[in-house]
Structure 1
Amino acid sequence: MLLLFGGLIYIAIEEGDRFLHHEGNFTVVQGEPFAMFCQFMSDNLHHPLTTLLIQIIAVLLMVRLFGYLFNYIGQPGVIGEIVAGIVLGPSVLGALFPDAFQFLFPPDSLTNLELLSQVGLILFMFVIGMELDFSVLKNKINETLVISHAGILVPFFLGILSSYWIYEEYASSQTPFLPFALFIGISMSITAFPVLARIIQERNMTKTPLGTLAIASAANDDVTAWCLLAVVIAISKAGSFASALYSVGLAVVYIAIMFLVVRPFLKKVGEVYANQEAINKTFVAFILLILIISSCITEVIGIHALFGAFMAGVVMPSNIGFRKVMMEKVEDISLVFFLPLFFAFTGLRTEIGLINSLELWLVCLLLVTVAVAGKLGGCAVAARLVGESWKDSLTVGTLMNTRGLMELVALNIGYEMGVLPPSIFVILVIMALVTTFMTTPLLHLVERFFVHREERLSLKRKLILCFGRPESGRNLLSIYYLLFGQKLKKEHLITAHYTVGTDLNPLNAEYYAQESFALVNQRAKELDIQVDNRYRVTDKLVQEMIHFVRKERPDMLLLGAGSHYRPDTSGTTPGAILWLSLFRDKIDEVLEQVKCPVAVFVNRHYREGAMISLVLGGMIDTFLLFYLEGILAAGHSVRLFLFDTDDDEFRLKIRELMEKYPGLISPVGFTKADDLITEDKDGLLIMSHLSYTKLAEEEEVLSKLSSLLVIRRNKSNGNK
């Protein structure tokens, strides 16, 4: 077959020789084959598509690298991504390696990069609109209105005031005063809602009144600022306030249609998909079409396409299932692929070398000071006026001072319109980076400043339980109730759950938190116990747990482990245990790093109400008597395994306990590990960590024991 068709092809080509007389009309490139190949490769390398692909590769690599580095030092990854864009621009790469910069970003290739970055911003603003939860705005509505409006008006006023000292020297030759002053004012007023929400989530503040107040204020600020930005853009494009009234009027009509017509329609559509995990491609195309039409309309009427994308996200159905599916489809490609291109394009516009005089650096210092004083100071004072403490007020002000990506979006709009000169644009980019970078250190500073001035809210015992699976949390709460009984109602009980991962958006985090705490909250309600739920997303599980425990300084920490384990012979501690559970080999690290008493529950089909056994290996285990007495006080019978010892003090303590709780203690002597094996497979065996360590080599015996509660006493003083 191959020979047949090969022969036919050869004959057809040979017959083509009759057209040789036409070749004189064309220029035939001749030369060395290798030289021709090199020229061919060079032409391909400089093709617009190849250039764009190389730019994307470089941008994605740098953004991931800097995002990781900034996360490592405790800063939001978005700051690292912004810095990566500046490093790729003329400020660093262009200054140090000009040839590489010219090869990577030739001037005629920037149009493609700009258009792609704008598409990414449209998708991003759509996601931001969907993340906005109007139900949050209803909570503490009066307080949030005061704080958010103070966070807009005070910095906006100070920004316009500062423009008097800047305009004549640096912007008078490029733009009229009105649009310049308005853009300086709006750049002082913006809060980066996504960055703020993630900082609150990382600091475990989502469920706290302070976290709710900050998120609601930021959401209100976000809506107000973007509406104000739309008006500023309209005025800037029209040239005067009177001319801008037409654009503003059309914008009001557009917003009314989106809320009164489009939103009710989408709400009905969303109800159809409320319980569906998958949405068909036709409907996704319909939603994206609404997004593009909305963006196009706002661009045409003069208030920028990004505002239309934001409004399209806001009017999406509020059903969490619908939004979750849509956000998963759009968010990853927006955040991971398109936004880095925007950072790179912003970096190409940011040339730090333009700030080449002392006067410009003083202008930079002035604008940073105005931004911090206006936003942080305005929000903090407003929060104090509505009744918050100074600590909470300063915390809210610090969080609202975060600008990040949202600031860059507004600045790029001003730069594209020619309102912001290059030098002022660079200064405002630096201001955005500084105010975002300072958020985390300032929060730590506020916390440390007030920690010595705060009194403990009560003398309650603080107990923490950390769980993975929801049913594990329920079981751990039952174990605490077994140990402390009715006293647990008077204690401060914290239930902590961690989701391992990164970049979980606040909407999904809220949903996962509700699902994770459902069973433990149900059990707490049954026992009439108040619990303080703490939820956090992290990719450093053990470090986060250790930091959390050290910060809270609890009186006890309770962890859950699975039923399978084996001795860890590779560790430095003889007999250390490797738990194959949620925390796997992590529990030993927690035990090593925290000083409070730690209990580990190894669940092997434990049933509440089954037989309770406790092992006492001598005086070294007498700290367990505190927990034993709590169990006995609740009326539970206990089988007490007593190691044969000649210690009179130990025997006296046991005798006194048996006299105090007659009929509830069944003493059983034991001399070897086999004696601890019982028929009660659904019971619970309590022992000290030291006793368990000694049993670690008896792997066959350990596998036959019932559920275990292993308690490690306080490392700091040796006794509980």
Structure 2
Amino acid sequence: MNTSEIFLLAMLLIFAVPYLFWRLLKTDYFAPLVVVQIIMGVILGPGVMGNLFPDYHKFVFNPDVVKTLNGVSMWGVILFVMLAGVELDLKKTWQYRRESMTTAGLSLGMPLLFGCGAALLLLNYQGWIGAKAAPWQFLIGTGMACAVTALPVLVMLLEKLEILRQPMGQRLLRYASLDDVAIWGVLALLMLDWERVGRQAGFLAAFAILTFAYRRLMVRLNKNDRWAVALIWLIACSFGADWAGLHFMVGAFLAGVVMDADWFGQEALDAMFKNVLLILMPVFFLSTGLRTKWDMGGYSVFFVAGLLLLASVGGKLAAAHMAGKILKWKDGEASIIGWLLQSKGLIEIVFANILLDKQIITSETFTALLLMAVGSTMLTIPLVHPKLHRAQNRGLVGQAS
């Protein structure tokens, strides 16, 4: 077989296996298709299928095929995160800035604190801290992994729950996006890459200046030209953010945030959202799973995964309830927001991969974080759906703040 044929075979596995598993086993309630795609990405990766069928795995997912899949997945997630940014109403973010900053700060800080507590416990045992990590790096890195909210997965879950464009969905986007920007910034500090800290400041300053010129240009263009210029702007922002150490997804989100939905038309944006979700995002979920390299590390890894899951979920729920009391939310809102913000998905796995590459954590810790991310995401829909139904009956979901 030549490379193109093997690539198509890999694509067949990527699209067919999760769909058949999801449809035939009817997992939608506890594991929506996006969750199944995440799990199948891990299963099809080197950690499971690579160990069970190493020769077949190396044949199908050879370096040339994986590079191609990574390129497709990167472009898919860049488009998806941009569309998530377009969905966010900046005027509402500013209007509710006290609420947004309070909730985002708590939802980042509390699970970070809980995660650091779990990591402090792990320092007493061998095999969890990486070979090149200082204790503070291990503590902060593990804590931040517990604090991550997976923005692409959150958007999908909000879409599935049909609240993406409702006020509560917009609030959740505001909280998660502020936390995401902070998390990638902290990661750069964690790596002690002071050169990149300066780059980040330069990128954000340039972005702020160029945004004014970009917005003035867009209102003068027709719709066809707007799409072309928007894609150029998207690529430039993604490149700039990645160059600065903020990660290309942060740049893609910022690129979308400063766009107005009215420039393109809501119907066209909805069509693009569904197409990206259907055509490109499965490749992102599966190809990211293919990049995970992990060892099971014995039964202790399951205990540590449970500990980290408790820290992550407990921290997010505690933060949401604290924010609810401070901001006087209605009954039931804090629980819904806390459970949705605790969903991890593959963004946490990407974050953990970086920690593993830098030898801040070991492969055993990575495995525990991976299991925590899958468990966190699988818990979301079953626990949120009934709470959301009760809230909708009481008319809470439509409230703006």
TM-score range normalised by the length of the shorter chain: 0.7 to 0.9
Change (3 A) 1:410 1:124: farther
Change (3 A) 1:145 1:306: closer
Tell me the distance in 2 between the aligned counterparts of 1:435 and 1:303: 24
Alignment-derived partner of residue 286 in structure 2 = 344
Instruction: Output one character per residue of 1:357-393: Cα deviation in whole Å (capped at 9) or x when no partner.
Output: 2322221111011011101222123213322344332
- 8 Å CA contact 1:136–1:212 kept in 2: the answer is no
Tell me the distance in 1 between the aligned counterparts of 2:397 and 2:135: 52
Residues 609-628 of structure 1 mapped to structure 2, 5 A cutoff: none
The reply to whether residue 171 of structure 1 matches residue 125 of structure 2 is no
Alignment-derived partner of residue 229 in structure 1 = 183
The reply to whether residue 279 of structure 1 matches residue 224 of structure 2 is yes
Tell me the distance in 2 between the aligned counterparts of 1:329 and 1:148: 30
Alignment-derived partner of residue 252 in structure 2 = 309
Residues 570-719 of structure 1 mapped to structure 2, 5 A cutoff: none
Q: CA deviation at 1:213?
A: 4.3
Alignment-derived partner of residue 438 in structure 1 = 379
Alignment-derived partner of residue 304 in structure 2 = 363
Q: CA deviation at 1:58?
A: 1.6
Tell me the distance in 1 between the aligned counterparts of 2:361 and 2:189: 15
- 8 Å CA contact 2:127–2:364 kept in 1: the answer is no
- 8 Å CA contact 2:167–2:397 kept in 1: the answer is no
Tell me the distance in 2 between the aligned counterparts of 1:325 and 1:193: 22
Tell me the distance in 2 between the aligned counterparts of 1:62 and 1:113: 16
The reply to whether residue 76 of structure 1 matches residue 32 of structure 2 is yes
Change (3 A) 1:393 1:433: same
Tell me the distance in 2 between the aligned counterparts of 1:264 and 1:439: 38
**SS at 2:224 equivalent:** coil
Tell me the distance in 1 between the aligned counterparts of 2:32 and 2:280: 18
- 8 Å CA contact 2:150–2:344 kept in 1: the answer is yes
Q: CA deviation at 1:299?
A: 2.6
Instruction: Output one character per residue of 1:654-683: Cα deviation in whole Å (capped at 9) or x when no partner.
Output: xxxxxxxxxxxxxxxxxxxxxxxxxxxxxx
Alignment-derived partner of residue 198 in structure 2 = 249
Residues 510-521 of structure 1 mapped to structure 2, 5 A cutoff: none
Alignment-derived partner of residue 55 in structure 1 = 10
The reply to whether residue 89 of structure 1 matches residue 38 of structure 2 is no
Tell me the distance in 2 between the aligned counterparts of 1:356 and 1:279: 54
Q: Aligned-residue CA RMSD in angstroms? A: 3.5
Which structure shows the higher helix fraction? 2
Whichever residue aligns with residue 149 of structure 1, its letter is: G
Tell me the distance in 2 between the aligned counterparts of 1:115 and 1:199: 25
Alignment-derived partner of residue 268 in structure 1 = 216
Identity of aligned residues (%): 24
Tell me the distance in 2 between the aligned counterparts of 1:199 and 1:213: 13
- 8 Å CA contact 1:183–1:232 kept in 2: the answer is no
Whichever residue aligns with residue 58 of structure 1, its letter is: L
Q: Give unpaired runs (5+ residues) of structure 1.
A: 1-44, 458-493, 495-531, 535-720
Alignment-derived partner of residue 145 in structure 2 = 187
The reply to whether residue 401 of structure 1 matches residue 342 of structure 2 is yes
Alignment-derived partner of residue 151 in structure 1 = 107
**SS at 1:169 equivalent:** coil
Computing the radius of gyration from Cα coordinates, the structure with the larger value is 1
- 8 Å CA contact 1:214–1:399 kept in 2: the answer is no
- 8 Å CA contact 1:59–1:344 kept in 2: the answer is yes
Q: CA deviation at 1:174?
A: 4.2
Tell me the distance in 2 between the aligned counterparts of 1:144 and 1:213: 12
- 8 Å CA contact 1:349–1:422 kept in 2: the answer is no
* TM-score when normalising by structure 2: 0.83
**SS at 1:272 equivalent:** coil
Match of 1:384 among 325, 339, 352: 325
Q: CA deviation at 1:176?
A: 3.8
Whichever residue aligns with residue 228 of structure 1, its letter is: A
Tell me the distance in 1 between the aligned counterparts of 2:314 and 2:169: 18
Q: CA deviation at 1:323?
A: 6.3
Alignment-derived partner of residue 20 in structure 2 = 65
Q: CA deviation at 1:154?
A: 0.5
Alignment-derived partner of residue 633 in structure 1 = none
Whichever residue aligns with residue 341 of structure 1, its letter is: V
Tell me the distance in 2 between the aligned counterparts of 1:103 and 1:206: 41
The reply to whether residue 291 of structure 1 matches residue 245 of structure 2 is no
Q: CA deviation at 1:184?
A: 1.8
Tell me the distance in 2 between the aligned counterparts of 1:204 and 1:51: 38
Q: Give unpaired runs (5+ residues) of structure 2.
A: none
Tell me the distance in 2 between the aligned counterparts of 1:100 and 1:285: 41
Alignment-derived partner of residue 638 in structure 1 = none
Whichever residue aligns with residue 361 of structure 1, its letter is: F
Tell me the distance in 2 between the aligned counterparts of 1:95 and 1:314: 42
Which structure shows the higher strand fraction? 1
**Structure having greater relative contact order (Cα 8 Å, sep ≥ 6):** 2
* TM-score when normalising by structure 1: 0.49
Aligned length: 394
Match of 1:111 among 62, 67, 78: 67
Q: CA deviation at 1:150?
A: 0.9
- 8 Å CA contact 2:29–2:382 kept in 1: the answer is no
Residues 394-433 of structure 1 mapped to structure 2, 5 A cutoff: 394-433=335-374
Tell me the distance in 2 between the aligned counterparts of 1:66 and 1:351: 23
**SS at 1:170 equivalent:** coil
Residues 193-208 of structure 1 mapped to structure 2, 5 A cutoff: 193-197=151-155, 199-200=157-158, 202-203=160-161
Tell me the distance in 1 between the aligned counterparts of 2:161 and 2:49: 35
